[in-house]
A and B are shown apart, each in its own frame.
Chain A
Amino acid sequence: MEDIHSLTTTHTQSRRFKRPEWRQILPYLLIAPTLILVAIFTIYPTIRTFEQSLYEPGTSTRDATGRRVQGEDAFVGFQNYADLFIPQTPPHPIVGSFMQILGNTLIFAVVTVSITLPLSLGLALLMNRAIRGRSLWRFSLFYPVLLPLIGGASMWAFLYGNTGGLINTVFRSLGIGTQDWLNTPDLVLWSVIVVNIWKQAGFYMIFYLAGLQAIPKDIYEAAELDGASYFQQLYSITIPLLRRTTLFLLVIASTYAFQTVEQLDVLNRGMPANRSNMLLWYIYQIYPSTPARGYVNAISMVLVVILFFFTFINFTFFERKDDDGQ
């Protein structure tokens, strides 16, 4: 049976594809569009970013006729990186705030991730029960995931507004002291963090929901017979069995946190005093200036390395299993 089967296949194949080279070229033709685009928009710019991060852009001058002439770029090795990471007095004129902004980005990532993940687990536990009005609750928790970041954030701009904003209006009527949520230096980064927690919690919740539904019910029944309370079951069964989901979410949430800056456009644009500024937004702010070009590329490389680190973990831990399974 097996033999006849394979014979037929070989026979038809040789008849369909008379020229053997066509059969050999076809797969490359099928993947060529995708690979060419990846080469143009991912691989080439990565290489160029690294290359240009090693140069100091030439200063532009005017020649005798008054036309602007761009000077030659000068190779400076890792000097651009040194300028970013080694503090100077007085602060570097272009990238003096880099360390502060890197710090903001790290705080943003760590705090957002470490609050959002436990929160989404809590939400998943709540939603993984029989409850009336389920689809309304699910809609409420998940819709922020879909919104454009700038759209979600602009709703918060209204909530946070200093004089006409909702939160302060409520506070005032309750006699609680108001805050200028987006203009107080010590507060602004936290205000931004809250927006991102609100935006992402529903997304991670669905992964925890899937994880919870995969846990066999009889484990809980056995624990119940042994007299384990709800919270004992949570700590000794549920959380350990969700470890894989948690690890996976940790990686994607961290990756996401380093790239999310669009909310800043409507939440005070990194101000005051760069206290809510983050790396990608900083790049967006300084890229139009020619003297900053080397630095823009160096900062981009810093982000590439950070993100590559997280996604690399993601693939080594999670994709391998997927491939072995086939």
Chain B
Amino acid sequence: MVNRRNGWSIVADITTMVVSLLWLAPLFFAVLISVRPSSDPLTVGNIFFGRSITLENYQRALELAPWEWHYLTSFLVVVGVVGVQIITITMAGYAFARMKFFGRNILLFVLLIQLMIPSGVLVVQNLTTMRQIGLFDTRWALMMPYWASAFGVLLMRQTFREIPPELEEAARIDGANIGQILRFVYIPLSIPTYVAFSLVSISARWNEFLWAAMVTRSAEVRPVTTGLSQLFSATEAGTNYGQLMAGTILVVAPLVVLFIFFQRRFIESFASSGLK
């Protein structure tokens, strides 16, 4: 069934290419239109290129929103969330994987509620909470709700369980404390899981929009996705696609580049993220 070469497999090859190119088309044309002069709509010249190549769309897209702040915010949020998550999921993951304590199963279930009720539907109440604790319109509001990750805890619990307990016992005999056991036994042996988790978390935070649009007002603390949204509102509907696509490329490029470098890693990571 797999490697049989015949007429059908040529049909299948062609189908694969056609579908893939169709899937690639939105990105491909977004890039093309972003470097096409705005004086050349699609009907002038051929459909792929205008009469020249220009960066003017990028210049104007950059002027229409304070991108340097948006990039800074997105970057800080990604680092601030993933960094804290690594700590919280390591601690909780270890406790649930290797320690016996009263109420363990109940507490694990409480944690799982986070997976059952996605934060997206609780935005309005969380917004009220942020106002009450005085973090409305700050970058903290973009980070705090994500510092705990039930998915990450489950992932680390699973990974830590596969590490032979003998290694921990040996470290204990050598006088290692809990911090040293995590630092020298569990964490080094779980690097692939940390990488997988980080990739999923980085792209989730980079892509966040709805919550960010609600909980921030000032441009300085808004992430890149809101910049794109602002560009859409600022641009007359249906007029300047070159400019809109330039803005789109500004937002998606970091992830696409990251993906090109870590293609296989990314795909495996997303596969494990579905298992939550």
Question: Which of chain B's residues have a CB closer than 8 A to the CB of A44?
Answer: 125, 129
Option from B2, B92, B225 in Cβ contact (under 8 Å) with A130? B2
Write the chain A residue with the least CB distance to B210.
A262
Question: Are B248 and A138 within 8 A (Cβ)?
Answer: no
Question: Are A159 and B29 within 8 A (Cβ)?
Answer: yes
Mask for A277-290, Cβ within 8 A of B = 1, else 0?
Answer: 00010011001000
**B33 CB-CB contact with A under 8 Å:** yes
Mask for A230-254, Cβ within 8 A of B = 1, else 0?
Answer: 1001000000000000001000100
**A178 CB-CB contact with B under 8 Å:** no
**B256 CB-CB contact with A under 8 Å:** yes
Question: Are B251 and A148 within 8 A (Cβ)?
Answer: yes
Do A308 and B1 form a contact, CB below 8 Å, given A34-B153, A146-B259, A158-B244? no
Question: Are A158 and B30 within 8 A (Cβ)?
Answer: yes
Do A230 and B95 form a contact, CB below 8 Å, given A38-B114, A46-B117, A154-B228? no
Write the chain B residue with the least CB distance to A13.
B172
Question: Are B209 and A280 within 8 A (Cβ)?
Answer: no
Write the chain A residue with the least CB distance to B98.
A27
Q: Is the interface of A mostly helix, strand, loop or mixed?
A: helix
Give B5 Cβ to nearest chain A Cβ, in Å: 9
Question: Are B129 and A40 within 8 A (Cβ)?
Answer: yes
Question: Are B238 and A162 within 8 A (Cβ)?
Answer: yes
Do A146 and B107 form a contact, CB below 8 Å, given A33-B88, A283-B123, A304-B121? no
Question: Are A283 and B148 within 8 A (Cβ)?
Answer: no
**CB under 8 Å from chain B, chain A span 289-322:** 296-297, 300, 303-304, 307-308, 311-312, 315, 322
Interface bin, chain A: 35 or more
**A95 CB-CB contact with B under 8 Å:** no
**A203 CB-CB contact with B under 8 Å:** yes
In the bound complex, what is the Cα–Cα distance between A311 and B263 (angstroms)? 29
Question: Are A151 and B251 within 8 A (Cβ)?
Answer: yes
Do A31 and B245 form a contact, CB below 8 Å, given A45-B122, A166-B42? no
Give B225 Cβ to nearest chain A Cβ, in Å: 5
Question: Are B27 and A155 within 8 A (Cβ)?
Answer: yes
Question: Which of chain A's residues have a CB closer than 8 A to the CB of B147?
Answer: 33, 37
